[in-house]
A and B are shown apart, each in its own frame.
Chain A
Amino acid sequence: MFGYVRPFKPELKINEFDTYKGIYCGLCKQLGREYGQFSRMTLSYDFAFLAMLSLAVHETGGRFERQVCAAHPLKKKPCLCCCDDLSFVAACAMAMLYYKWKDNLVDSGFWKRVFYRMTGFPARRAYRKAVKNYPVLEEIMETTIAKQQETEKTLNCTIDMAAEASSRALALIFEQLTDDEKQKKVLHRFGFLLGRWIYLIDALDDLKDDWKSGSFNPLLIWAKEAAAGADHPEEATKRYAEGLINVTHGEMALAFELIEINRYKSILDNILYLGLPSVKKQVLSHGRNKQNDGSL
């Protein structure tokens, strides 16, 4: 995950913003506690969203406290204390990090591959620890990685095929948030579509670079066939991707409305109905949008 799922700040109330920040800080600390200081740098908004949804689905749990941290050594800030939700989300973050690392390893050229091999050790170690705590993640990740590598090798890979593997990973992760069979179904669909949305946004974000370098990008495959004769093939591809992202978002919203949410509804609404469209707009107009920074 890449930090695309974030709230639209101007429309958040101050107390909502503080809550969101508290969860974000709590997750950062949880990562540090369980997976070492390096892992805190990989924190992204997406997992803050997952943590918030996890808390929202569960009726109880989660306590806020004012604490200091390395980034803000002087001022105490509200921060979510250690809880099961955070622990699970931190493990998911490490599992996805490992997945991304594996994916990069396969996709990049020789020198980058050497670089990834060298930096991979901590990622692998964190992953081992995460799946030890939550064995279900190992199953999810192994099938996802195998599937992804298989599809990228397939000729005539469609956009839907390419998005399948990582969307499914999120579907299975989101499913874990509840024990209720019906809610599992809803969260599965929501997770799948959110994963698909992230995948498409990321593909759109990378489009310009990949167009030049020729790296794997599902939109590029579409562009070669459908937009080859167009006057502005890149523009046409962008429009097409936007349509796809919109459809995915629409379906995601339908699933979202069926999730039984016990708290933080207004913040989650903000992320879903204002945050995501605003990120889409940014990606469409400015291109690269990869901020993974910890400052809010």
Chain B
Amino acid sequence: MTDPYKVLGVSPSASTEEIKNAYKQLAKKYHPDNYAASPLEEVANEKMAEVNEAYDQIMNERRASGDRANSSAGGQQYSGAAGSSYPDIRRLIMQNRFEEAEMLLDGVPVAKRDAEWHFLKGSVFYSRGWLDDAMAHFSSACQMNPNNPEYRAAYQRMMWQKQGNMGGSANGQYRMPNQNVGGCSACDCCSGLICTDCCCECMGGDCIPCC
């Protein structure tokens, strides 16, 4: 097996706190929610499992007799075939057989197309990368059935991305991981000092005399 420390991207001498942080970052990155219904779901889940296993292994090694609680996060299962009005189509989509699924979907008469139909059609478009059409169908699904959390999640995720946000990963955190580890960067130190100075001045003292 590969080195668990390498999987988490930390050195073997890292503190438990650092390992937890690294694990949290990765878990956020590969979280199943980010890849729900994506053709890359399987790959992401494998990565997640790998990260979980590495974390478990390190933690178990570190507290040889400790309990195994609070490991394996993100293992939530997404199964939805039950309760769907098109269980067979849903199953095809889950097996990544999108072309067959689309053929069946197109065979449904227009009058019978409900929220589930739009959601599934949207999922097919989504997997193909036709994001505009996908969004339109997710939106219809939500309008027809505003109470379904699955439809809402799919639509809201795309709306959120539309604002320029990016999945639980590095967006805006460019080069952040390195700065996090130390707990206090040069920037944090300075702003801390400035804060201290402001507080002192409020009370009549002065911590940094020049300003």
- 8 A Cβ contacts from A215-253 to B: 243-244, 246-251, 253
A246 touches B133 (CB 8 A): no
A253 near B163: Cβ-Cβ < 8 Å: no
Pair B162/A246 contact, Cβ less than 8 Å: yes
Distance between Cα atoms of A185 and B125 in the complex (Å): 17
Q: Is the pair B166, A250 in contact by a Cβ cutoff of 8 Å?
A: yes
Max count, chain A CB within 10 A of own CB: residue among B132, B135, B164, B175: B132
A160 on the B face (CB < 8 A): yes
Interface contact B162-A254, CB-CB below 8 Å: no
The count of residues in chain A whose C-beta lies closer than 8 Å to any C-beta of chain B is 33
A139 within 8 A of B: no
Closest B residue to A252 by CB, please name it. Answer: B166
Q: Closest Cβ of chain B: how far from A274's Cβ, in Å?
A: 6
Question: Do residues B129 and A247 form an inter-chain contact, with CB atoms below 8 A?
Answer: no
Partner of A164, one of B42, B130, B164, B165: B130
Contacting pair A246 B164 (CB below 8 A): yes
B72 CB within 8 Å of chain A: no
Question: Is B129 a contact partner of A254 (Cβ separation < 8 A)?
Answer: no
A158 at the interface (CB under 8 A from B): yes
B173 → A minimal CB distance (Å): 8
In the bound complex, what is the Cα–Cα distance between A255 and B29 (angstroms)? Answer: 11
B167 touches A253 (CB 8 A): yes
A57 in contact (CB, < 8 A): no
Interfacial chain A residues near B78, Cβ < 8 Å: none
Partner of A158, one of B29, B132, B158, B160: B132
Partner of B130, one of A160, A182, A273: A160
> Is A186 in contact with chain B by the CB < 8 A criterion?
yes
* A246, B39: Cα distance in complex, Å: 19
Contacts A158-B133, A270-B174 given: A186-B40 contact, CB under 8 Å?
Answer: yes
* Closest beta carbon of chain B to A123's beta carbon, Å: 28
A254 touches B38 (CB 8 A): yes
Does A34 sit within 8 A of B, measured CB to CB? no
Contact with B along A161-198 (1 / 0, CB 8 A): 10010010000000000000010011001001100100
Give min CB distance, B66 to chain A, whole Å.
31
Q: In the complex, what residues of B have CB within 8 A of residue A250's CB?
A: 160-161, 165-167
Q: Is the CB of A253 within 8 A of B174?
A: no
**Which residues of A have CB within 8 Å of B170?**
253, 257, 269, 273
Query: 7 A-B contacts, Cβ less than 8 Å apart?
Result: A189-B38, A247-B161, A254-B35, A258-B44, A258-B47, A266-B175, A273-B170
Lowest 4 CB-CB distances: which A-B pairs, in order? Answer: A250-B161, A160-B130, A243-B162, A253-B166
Known pairs A159-B132, A186-B40; list 13 more (Cβ under 8 Å): A161-B130, A189-B40, A189-B129, A196-B129, A243-B163, A248-B131, A253-B171, A254-B34, A254-B38, A254-B166, A254-B167, A269-B174, A277-B164
